[in-house]
Amino acid sequence: MNLPIDKTTQTGSPLRQVTLAATMVLLAGILSACAQSRNVPSAGDAQTETGVSESSGESAPVQETAVPRAPALPEIDDDPEQLIKMTRDDLNGLLGQPDLVRRESPAEIWQYRGKDCVLDVFLYNEDNKPDNPFKVVYSEARDLEAQNSDQRRCLNELLRAQLTS
């Protein structure tokens, strides 16, 4: 006895078959495009690190990936000796406005606070005359616990902060 077989239940409708075939072709195209854009060699054409194809022995282009680098920090003159004999205007131009100014005639102490240090700059008015400019005669650095600190490191920190502000 032969039972009638409904072919649409075994393989699906003709529309479903066409849709499935079209989907497969579309997926194959997408995968092939992805492989080409990433420059992925095929299994039979492996490349060595030098870019020479092992299967053909010919040179093949090697795609290098650029690694982003942090911008180089500019060179900074962080020698504290450069402060000596600077006027108020010179000091202001280099380090900006001080965080604190203490006046004790004939001296002024300008204080600059960094993230990790404090720089005290001592300016004197020679002969205590109004027409003589105040000039730096001494500087010292300390950490946030008031312990002596490296002046060069502190000045470097303050100068870099001035560059980024």
Model confidence pLDDT, tens digit, residues 10-56: 555 666 665 556 555 555 555 565 555 445 444 544 444 445 555 55
Q: pLDDT value at position 49?
A: 47
How many angstroms separate the CA atoms of 38 and 58, rounded? 20
Give residue 165's pLDDT: 77
Instruction: Over range 58-82, report the average pLDDT.
Output: 76
* pTM, two decimal places: 0.56
Instruction: Report how far residue 137's alpha carbon sits from residue 135's, in angstroms, rounded to the nearest whole number.
Output: 6
